[in-house]
Structure 1
Amino acid sequence: MAKRRIFNRIKAVLAEKGKTNIWLAEKVDVNKTTVSKWCTNSTQPTMESLFDIADALNVDVRDLLVSNK
């Protein structure tokens, strides 16, 4: 079975900030299931959503992504 790649760090940043999926869902006006899928990397947020997430968490958008280097 192929290993699922991790593209974002949303779950890690939420934990670092002491925030929950439900809190983020309310802040960026999406369903909590959507946030859960982002946190498990089963789906990825749009670029617009990624910037909204960064704003809500008060982090640089690059902090939400896994580096390819």
Structure 2
Amino acid sequence: MAKKINNIKEELNKSSLQVAALALYLDVEDTTISKWNSNKYQPSLNKIDDIGDILEIDNTNLILSIKRESTGLADALQKEYKRLLQTGMPKKVKVKDAKSEEKEINNPEFVSTLRDFVEKYKKEKAK
């Protein structure tokens, strides 16, 4: 099940507006609204604003507030980022796309290492 981030479905259900009408107004498919309603995908902030405007509610009613405890994660991640740079790990790597043209992307190893660090950090702090 997708992580619940928005309250669009609940707020839409409080109104008489049908998904089909909202979808047409927003110029998106009905299935897009359904994906937002199930939290499978999330709308852009501009779409949140458009929905709030139509439903005449505060945008904050459409987005769940998720309480988080401060553990110093951002500072720890910044230190890990700097440590990895000092080891010589490149932030970007060059790859060839489908047309054999070279382009630069985020280094997948760097991304993975940072994500692993965050996961480990959170587990350590949860103990």
Quickly name the TM-score band, shorter chain normalised: 0.7 to 0.9
Secondary structure at 2:10's aligned position in 1? helix
Deviation of residue 4 (structure 1)?
2.5
Secondary structure at 2:6's aligned position in 1? coil
Match of residue 50 from structure 1: 48
Tell me whether 17-26 or 39-48 shows the greater mean CA deviation.
Answer: 17-26
Q: Which runs of 5+ in 1 are unaligned?
A: none
**In structure 2, distance between residues paired with 1:52 and 1:17:** 15
Match of residue 11 from structure 1: 9
Amino acid at match of 2:27: D
Residue of 27, 30, 33 corresponding to 1:32: 30
Confirm or deny: 8 A CA contact 1:28 1:56 kept in the other structure: no
Deviation of residue 38 (structure 1)?
0.4
With structure 1 as the length reference, what TM-score do the two structures score?
A: 0.86
Q: Does 1:20 align with 2:18?
A: yes
**In structure 2, distance between residues paired with 1:20 and 1:39:** 13
Tell me whether 5-14 or 16-25 shows the greater mean CA deviation.
Answer: 16-25
Higher RCO structure, 1 or 2 (CA under 8 Å, sep 6+): 1
Residue of 59, 62, 65 corresponding to 1:61: 59
Deviation of residue 28 (structure 1)?
1.5
Between the aligned residues of both structures, percent identity stands at: 36
Which consecutive segments of 4 or more residues in structure 1 shift more than 4 A?
A: none
Q: Which runs of 5+ in 2 are unaligned?
A: 68-127
